[in-house]
Amino acid sequence: MKAQTRLISLLTLLALLASSSAQVFSQAEQKVEMGTFYVCLVVKNPRAPAEHSSEAGQVMRAHLKHLESLVANGKAVVVGPFPDGGRILGIVVMGVQSADEARTLEEADPLVKTGLASVEVLKWWAAKGVMKPPATPFDLSLLTTYYFGLIRRGPKWTADRTPEVEKLQADHMANINALAKAGKLVIAGPFENAGENAGVFVFKAGTIDEAKALADSDPAVKAGRLVVDVHPWLVLKGSLP
């Protein structure tokens, strides 16, 4: 119940941040137990030279060792690939002091150093204590699937606080609260100063179709105020509820 309360409070902050109110942000921040994390998007480089299988295998093994060291050193709290073959290869969530530190750590990843990928770093607010480095060793046989929803401003997004927008936000929050109580939404939170990128939903669902349906059930998505891109996310068991 405490975790649900934190999630619901944090999602209230997400709705408020979507209206671009810095004053409200500072007030809401005092009411929730939350922390700063950095979501590092590992993005495929479409202009990267083709790699021979043996070379690609060496880079991938070095990449996995890099991720393992980030988890072991307490720098990364959740890591994992997107297996759907899109532009985002995977996500590393860092619990470090700054975006510069997160970027430096990720630029040391062999995938980035060899030019096969680049990294985008987004400052993220999320509830403390929900994401945990797994107690088990870094074992890829222990991966489990969640669904990562990257929330963006939609074509109908506006910073205006009209009665219609206020009503839509209330409906948006009611839907979010229902998903949290049902155990389908395990963690979420807003990005800070990330342009069109608004925040994150992480769903616990049986299939990607179910996860997309959960995202599409949001009234703000139906109205075109927000857009959610949903990806399967393989993470180590125990990293998320």
pLDDT digits over 171-199, tens only?
A: 988 888 899 899 999 998 889 998 999 99
pLDDT digits over 195-216, tens only?
A: 999 999 999 999 999 999 999 9
What pLDDT does residue 137 have? Answer: 66
What pLDDT does residue 219 have? Answer: 95
Using a pLDDT cut of 70, give the percent of the chain over it: 83
3-state secondary structure of 54: helix
Cα 183 vs. chain centroid, distance in angstroms? Answer: 17
Using a pLDDT cut of 90, give the percent of the chain over it: 59
Please tell us whether the domain made up of 2-236 is placed in CATH 3.30.70.1060: yes
What pLDDT does residue 21 have? Answer: 30
Between 56 and 58, the higher pLDDT residue: 58
Cα 131 vs. chain centroid, distance in angstroms? Answer: 11
What pLDDT does residue 46 have? Answer: 83
Prediction pTM value: 0.85
3-state secondary structure of 231: strand
Q: For residues 53 and 169, what is the distance between their CA atoms, to the nearest angstrom? A: 50
Across 65-74, 151-160, 201-210, which has the greatest mean pLDDT? 201-210
Q: Of 22-26, 114-118, 129-133, where does mean pLDDT reach its minimum?
A: 22-26
